[in-house]
Amino acid sequence: MSRKKRKREDDDERDDRPPICPNCGVTQGIVVTDGDDTKFVCLECGFSDDESSGD
């Protein structure tokens, strides 16, 4: 068993990585709507936080 601790990133650094899907664990893709709103949709299963989606 390793006793090393994982390095913590500085809180000041911005994380620009896309979110991970809570449903299947795959990286979500960015969708920009007509109103310049940014939403994320899973590239694998289609999961979206948008309640109005028909999926």
- 6: tokens are 């994982």
- 37: tokens are 């709103």
- Output the CA–CA distances (angstroms, integers) from residue 3 to 7, 8, 10, in the order listed: 13, 15, 21
Residue 45 in this model has a pLDDT that exceeds 90: yes
pTM: 0.55
pLDDT, tens only, 24-42: 999 999 888 887 788 899 9
Where b means 16+ CB within 10 Å and e means fewer, 27-40 reads: ebeeeeeeeeeeeb
CATH code for the structural domain at 18-49: 2.20.70
Structural domain boundaries of the chain? 18-49
Given a contact cutoff of 8 angstroms between Cβ atoms, the answer to whether 31 and 25 are in contact is no
